[in-house]
Amino acid sequence: MELVMNSEEMKAAQDYVNNVYETVKKRNPNEDEFLQAVKEIFQSLVPVFAKSPKYMEHNILERIVEPERLITFRIPWVDDQGKVQVNRGFRVQFSSAIGPYKGGLRFHPTVNASIIKFLGFEQIFKNALTGQAIGGGKGGSDFNPRGKSEGEVMRFTQSFMTELCKYIGPDTDVPAGDIGVGAREIGYMFGQYKRLTGRFDAGVLTGKGVGYGGSLVRTEATGYGTVYFVEEMLRDQGLTFSGSTVVISGSGNVSIYAIDKAQEYGAKVLACSDSDGYIYDENGICLDTVKRLKEVERARISDYVKEHPHAQYFEGSTGIWTIPCDIALPCATQNEINEQSAKTLVANGVKAVGEGANMPSTLEAIDVFLENRVLFAPGKAANAGGVAVSALEMAQNSSRVSWSFEKVDRKLKHIMKDIYRNSINAAEEYGYPGNLVVGSNVAGFLRVADAMIMQGVV
Would you name the residues annotated as active-site residues?
138
The amino acid present at 347, given as its one-letter code, is: A
The closest of 407, 252, 240, 408 to 327, measured between CA atoms, is 240
Query: What are the C-alpha distances in Å from 147 to residues 80, 110, 135, 143, 299?
Result: 12, 16, 34, 11, 10
The yes or no reply on residue 140 touching ligand GLU (CB under 6 A) is no
- Residue of 67, 89, 103, 187 that binds ligand GLU (CB under 6 A): 103
Letter string b/e over residues 354-363, b meaning 16 or more CB atoms within 10 A of that residue's CB: bbbbbbbbbe
Please identify, among the stretches 21-29, 99-107, 305-313, 450-458, the one whose residues bind ligand GLU according to the rule CB under 6 A.
99-107
Closest to ligand GLU by CB, 103 vs 223, is: 103
Please identify, among the stretches 37-45, 184-192, 278-286, 382-390, the one whose residues bind ligand GLU according to the rule CB under 6 A.
382-390
Please identify, among the stretches 12-20, 332-340, 383-391, 427-435, the one whose residues bind ligand GLU according to the rule CB under 6 A.
383-391
- Residue of 225, 386, 439, 444 that binds ligand GLU (CB under 6 A): 386
CB of 11 to ligand GLU, least distance (A): 35
CB of 358 to ligand GLU, least distance (A): 5
The yes or no reply on residue 104 touching ligand GLU (CB under 6 A) is yes
CB of 257 to ligand GLU, least distance (A): 13
Residues between 353 and 372 with contacts to ligand GLU, criterion CB under 6 A? 358
- Residue of 206, 362, 440, 441 that binds ligand GLU (CB under 6 A): 206
Cα gap 23→38, rounded to integer Å: 12
Looking only at the bridges linking them, the beta strands covering 69-78 and 84-95 are antiparallel
Closest to ligand GLU by CB, 10 vs 92, is: 92
Cα gap 123→379, rounded to integer Å: 10
The yes or no reply on residue 100 touching ligand GLU (CB under 6 A) is no
Cα gap 32→346, rounded to integer Å: 26
The answer to whether 386 and 359 have CB atoms below 8 angstroms apart is: no
CB of 366 to ligand GLU, least distance (A): 18
What string of DSSP letters covers 46-60? HHHHHH-THHHHTTH
The answer to whether 164 and 137 have CB atoms below 8 angstroms apart is: no
The single-letter DSSP state of residue 214 is P
CB of 99 to ligand GLU, least distance (A): 12
CB of 171 to ligand GLU, least distance (A): 15
Cα gap 57→372, rounded to integer Å: 36
- 62, HSE (Cβ side, Cα atoms, 13 Å): 13
Stated as kind and residue range, the H or E segment containing 253 is helix 253-264
The answer to whether 174 and 168 have CB atoms below 8 angstroms apart is: yes
The yes or no reply on residue 102 touching ligand GLU (CB under 6 A) is yes
CB of 87 to ligand GLU, least distance (A): 19
The yes or no reply on residue 330 touching ligand GLU (CB under 6 A) is no
The yes or no reply on residue 390 touching ligand GLU (CB under 6 A) is yes
The yes or no reply on residue 189 touching ligand GLU (CB under 6 A) is no
Please identify, among the stretches 24-32, 64-72, 100-108, 266-274, the one whose residues bind ligand GLU according to the rule CB under 6 A.
100-108
The answer to whether 136 and 94 have CB atoms below 8 angstroms apart is: yes
The answer to whether 216 and 408 have CB atoms below 8 angstroms apart is: yes
Binding residues for ligand GLU, rule CB under 6 A, total: 10
The yes or no reply on residue 178 touching ligand GLU (CB under 6 A) is yes
- Residue of 64, 387, 437, 443 that binds ligand GLU (CB under 6 A): 387
The yes or no reply on residue 173 touching ligand GLU (CB under 6 A) is no
Q: Which residue is nearest to ligand GLU (CB)?
A: 104
Looking only at the bridges linking them, the beta strands covering 352-354 and 375-377 are parallel
Query: What are the C-alpha distances in Å from 165 to residues 21, 67, 175, 189?
Result: 34, 19, 10, 9
- Residue of 3, 176, 259, 328 that binds ligand GLU (CB under 6 A): 176
Query: What pairs with residue 280 in β-bridges?
Result: 271, 312
Interacting residue ranges for ligand GLU, rule: CB under 6 A: 102-104, 176, 178, 206, 358, 386-387, 390
